[in-house]
Amino acid sequence: MLNVGDKAPDFDLPTDTGRVSLAALKGRKVVLFFYPKDDTPGCTTENIGFSAAKADFDAAGVTLVGVSKDTVAKHGKFRAKHGLTVELGSAADDDMVERYGAWIEKSLYGRQYMGIDRSTWLIDGAGVIRRIWRKVKVGGHVAEVLEAARTL
């Protein structure tokens, strides 16, 4: 289990615009947010919120990266449909979600299954985890993450 102060695991994921990797972002602060599925209500609201605040994150020197296990093609459709401006990495063929501890057992209507924990990671320019939010509630979350990122 990763904790604040740990080195963030490297990742290199395909996106609908190319690739995104932690190594390529060295020297920049990164907000890495895991979300369960493209085009579902909470995930759409969260991605729209981060996209709306992208200019503020950019001004704070922060790169936003959203990750789910959806395919690159699905990410592209999702970004186009909702005018999203954040990078969306596809972990469909990668164990990155597991390495970050965001792949958890969930329960819905009494059925147990594995899925992504809506969680956010604030990583400094040296690749060190500075803040972790788990079991994120979407309302107010983007503002809270932005405030924390500005204090780094």
Task: Measure the CA dihedral 11/12/13/19, to 10°.
Answer: 140
Q: Reply yes or no on whether 43 is catalytic.
A: yes
Using the CB atoms, write b or e for 18-51: b if 16+ within 10 Å.
Answer: eebebeebeeebbbbbbbbebeeeebbbbbbbbb
Catalytic residue among 8, 13, 30, 43: 43
Ramachandran assignment for 45, one of left (phi > 0), alpha (psi -120 to 50 degrees), beta (any other): alpha
Six-digit token pair at 56? 């503020």
Residue 69 main-chain phi, psi, to 5 deg: -95, 10
Catalytic residue list = 43
